[in-house]
Amino acid sequence: MTSPDTPPLLLCIGGHDPSGGAGIQADAEAARAAGAHATSVITCLTTQDTCGLRRLYPQPAELVDEQCRLLLGDSSIGAIKVGLIGSSRIARSLASLAAEHSHLPLVLDPVLASGAGESVTDAALLNQLRTNLLAHCSLITPNLPEAQALAGGGTDPEACARRLLSTGCSWVLITGTHEARDDVVNRLFGRDGTHREWTWPRLPHSYHGSGCTLASAIAARLALGMELVEAVAEAQGYTWEALQRAWRTGRCQYLPNRLYALDDKPTDQP
């Protein structure tokens, strides 16, 4: 049963990071901070620490599909967030699932490399993303190198966005964390011609889990019923302040992103 006090439910589909900085744990923390509850399906187990990824263990696509269908059939899911996928078979399964639940907002963080730069994709998975899954996404949130890889051409954000929107996805948010400049410019492009930009001061470290956090923070707000542009704007403010407060859990230089409790009140401005 549900009640007026029941939080909206977000289905998070992604990998498990044992260090706790990224993946499903980051998704759940961002959802809770927004006032939503995360249900979860693990696509990949990993061996990694704060220094980097050692091995990736994609789960059977049939298992991922079965668990997603159980949750979608049992619970009133308000939105779906997809992160690390791990195999082309899982991507194909998720595309079919998304087509059957097209009424639900779907936010894809297209994880093509780990926080330390190790590749977590191959040509077959990239092909499935381009030809199947992207068409069912309400929003995708690549950084610029990911946008370039997915678009298969184009170097500037606007050209990449045009190519990605042509696949059928509704919105593209290209984050500027990998650009060589003193600030971070995040650019949102819509199929309706909307183009919005936000500029944030660049923080001094590298951060593990920032992409997971941003995408999940947006998806949680969509589950709450927020309009997409507003959700994107508010989630950026939350993510920036979460990164500003991050602390190191291991000996390496990038920082697992430790987030706020539900009653914390991050500001909307940097």
176 lies in which domain range?
A: 9-256
State the alpha helices, DSSP H only, in the chain.
23-34, 61-74, 88-100, 123-128, 144-151, 157-165, 210-223, 228-244
210 pLDDT tier (thresholds 50, 70, 90): confident
As for how many domains the chain has, the answer is 1
Residue 2 covered by a domain: no
Inform me whether the pLDDT recorded for 251 exceeds 70.
yes
CATH number at residue 61: 3.40.1190.20
230 phi, psi to nearest 5 deg: -65, -40
Give the span between the Cα atoms of 52 and 45, in whole angstroms: 14
In this prediction, residues 122-133 reach a mean pLDDT of 94
At residue 247, the pLDDT reads: 67
48 phi, psi to nearest 5 deg: -160, 160
At residue 118, the pLDDT reads: 63
Query: How far does CA 173 lie from the centroid of its chain?
Result: 11
Of 222, 244, 243, nearest to 234 by C-alpha is: 222
Residue 234 covered by a domain: yes
pTM for the complete prediction?
A: 0.89
Kind and range of the H or E run holding 156: none
Query: What average pLDDT is seen over the chain?
Result: 87
For 155-190, how does the pLDDT look when each residue is reduced to its tens digit (9 = 90+)?
A: 799 999 999 999 999 999 999 876 767 788 999 999
10 pLDDT tier (thresholds 50, 70, 90): very high
At residue 266, the pLDDT reads: 36
Inform me whether the pLDDT recorded for 220 exceeds 90.
yes
Higher pLDDT among residues 243 and 2, named by residue: 243
Give the span between the Cα atoms of 76 and 6, in whole angstroms: 11
